[in-house]
C-alpha cells in the first residue's frame, strides 16, 4: 500500500518505520524529523495518492484541524486511519467529515506504549466500517500483535478510555497495597508471589509491577523512566470522565483516579515519570 503517516513523535515514528519495511510510506510532522523515512513538506502532500493515511496526534482539536487539511487532499475511497487517543466526539466528527469527502475512517487508538510501537506489539481497538477495518488489517499486523473491531465510529476510542480507566484505578490500588505491605512488614517478593497468583492479580501487578526488582522488568527497574508517562495516563483518565459525564455514567473510582493523577502530575513531582511512580509517592506519605 501507499501510506501517508502524519505525526512522527515517540509513537508515530517507530510505527511508520515498521510499516516502511513493507510499504511505501511518506511521513509528515511539523517538528519531528526522524531519519530513515521519506518526508513530505506538508500533511496534505503526504496524503496525496495514498491508499491509507494514518494520523498519530496529541488531542482531538489537533486531529480535527489536521483532518480538515487531509480529507480534501486524499483520493476518493482512501482510508483515514487515526491511531491517536482523543475524545469520542472528535473521533465521530472526523469520521463523518471523511464520509462527506468520499473517504472511509477508522479510529484505532493503541495500547502498548513506546516499547510496543518500536517492537510492533501494539494492540489496536478500532471503530468504523468493517470492510475498511479488514483492508487495514495487514497494517495492524505489522504494527501490532492484536487488533479488535469494536463497532461503529468512535467505539475504538470508547474501548481505549474504558481500558485505561481500569488501568489507572488498578495501578493506584497496586501501589497502595505495596506501600501498605511495607508498613506492615510484609516482604515485597512474598506479596507479589501471593497476589500475582490470587484474586488480587491484575496486569498492573503481574506484567508491569511498580516495585523495582519484583516480577518482569518494568519502568520501576529503570528509575521510573516512562514507558507510559503519568501525564498521558492523566490525559486518558480525563477523557474517560469527559465521556462519562456526557453519557451520565457514574464512575466514582474513575473520578478518584483522575483527581489523584492530576495532583501527582500538576502539583507534585509526577510529570515526566512513569505512571507506576505512584508507588514511591505512597511510600513517603502518611494517612491524612
Beta bridge partners of 151: 127
Residues written for the chain: 288
**pLDDT tops 90 at residue 215:** yes
Q: How far, in Å, CA of 66 to CA of 9, rounded?
A: 15
**Average pLDDT of the residues in 49-77:** 97
Q: Are 215 and 196 in contact (CB under 8 A)?
A: yes
**Close Cβ partners of 226 (under 8 Å, ≥ 6 residues apart):** 219, 232, 272, 273, 274, 275
pLDDT in tens, 256-287: 999 999 999 999 999 999 999 999 999 999 99
What's the confidence (pLDDT) of residue 145?
97
**Average pLDDT of the residues in 57-86:** 97
What's the confidence (pLDDT) of residue 159?
97
The cell for 123 is: 494492540
Among residues 81, 201, 65, which one has the least CA distance to residue 136?
Answer: 81
pLDDT in tens, 225-241: 998 999 999 999 999 99
Domain borders along the chain are 2-151, 158-284
Q: Is 160 a catalytic residue?
A: yes
What's the confidence (pLDDT) of residue 288?
87
**pLDDT tops 90 at residue 99:** yes
Question: Sorting pLDDT into bands at 50, 70 and 90, what band is 32?
Answer: very high
Average pLDDT, the chain: 97
What's the confidence (pLDDT) of residue 63?
98
Catalytic pick from 2, 146, 160, 235? 160
What's the confidence (pLDDT) of residue 227?
87
The cell for 236 is: 486518558
**Average pLDDT of the residues in 16-38:** 96
What's the confidence (pLDDT) of residue 205?
98
The cell for 51 is: 491508499
* DSSP-assigned letter for residue 84: -
**pLDDT tops 90 at residue 213:** yes
Q: How far, in Å, CA of 60 to CA of 249, rounded?
A: 21
**pLDDT tops 90 at residue 114:** no
**pLDDT tops 90 at residue 34:** yes
pLDDT in tens, 132-185: 999 999 999 999 999 999 999 999 999 999 999 999 999 999 999 999 999 999
What's the confidence (pLDDT) of residue 189?
98
Which ranges in 74-112 belong to alpha helices (H)? Answer: 88-100
Which fold does the domain 158-284 belong to in CATH? 1.10.1040
Options 3.40.50.720, 3.20.20.70, 3.30.499.10, 3.30.360.10; CATH for 2-151 is: 3.40.50.720
Amino acid at each position: 500500500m501507499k501510506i501517508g503517516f502524519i505525526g512522527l513523535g515517540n509513537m508515530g515514528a517507530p510505527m511508520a518505520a515498521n510499516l516502511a519495511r513493507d510499504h511505501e510510506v511518506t511521513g509528515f510532522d511539523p517538528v519531528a524529523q526522524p531519519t530513515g523515512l521519506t518526508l513530505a513538506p506538508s500533511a496534505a502532500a503526504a496524503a496525496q495518492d495514498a491508499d491509507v493515511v494514518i494520523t498519530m496526534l496529541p488531542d482531538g482539536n489537533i486531529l480535527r484541524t489536521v483532518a480538515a487539511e487531509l480529507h480534501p487532499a486524499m483520493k476518493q475511497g482512501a482510508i483515514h486511519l487515526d491511531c491517536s487517543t482523543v475524545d469520542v466526539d472528535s473521533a465521530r466528527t472526523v469520521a463523518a467529515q471523511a464520509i462527506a469527502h468520499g473517504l472511509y475512517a477508522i479510529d484505532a487508538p493503541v495500547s502498548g506504549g513506546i516499547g510496543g510501537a518500536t517492537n510492533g506489539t501494539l494492540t489496536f481497538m478500532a471503530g468504523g466500517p468493517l470492510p475498511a477495518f479488514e483492508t487495514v488489517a495487514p497494517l495492524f499486523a505489522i504494527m501490532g500483535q492484536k487488533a479488535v473491531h469494536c463497532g461503529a465510529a468512535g467505539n475504538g476510542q470508547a474501548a481505549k478510555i474504558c481500558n485505561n480507566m481500569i488501568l489507572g484505578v488498578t495501578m493506584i490500588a497496586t501501589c497502595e497495597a505495596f506501600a501498605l505491605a511495607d508498613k506492615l512488614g510484609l516482604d515485597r517478593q512474598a506479596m507479589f508471589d501471593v497476589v500475582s497468583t490470587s484474586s488480587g492479580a491484575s496486569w498492573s501487578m503481574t506484567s508491569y509491577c511498580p516495585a523495582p526488582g519484583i516480577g518482569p522488568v518494568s519502568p520501576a527497574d529503570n528509575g521510573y523512566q516512562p514507558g507510559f508517562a503519568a501525564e498521558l495516563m492523566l490525559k486518558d483518565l480525563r477523557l474517560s470522565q469527559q465521556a462519562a459525564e456526557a453519557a451520565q455514567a457514574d464512575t466514582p473510582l474513575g473520578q478518584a483516579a483522575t483527581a489523584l493523577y492530576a495532583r501527582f502530575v500538576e502539583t507534585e513531582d509526577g510529570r515526566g515519570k512513569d505512571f507506576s511512580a505512584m508507588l514511591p509517592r505512597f511510600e513517603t506519605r502518611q494517612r491524612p
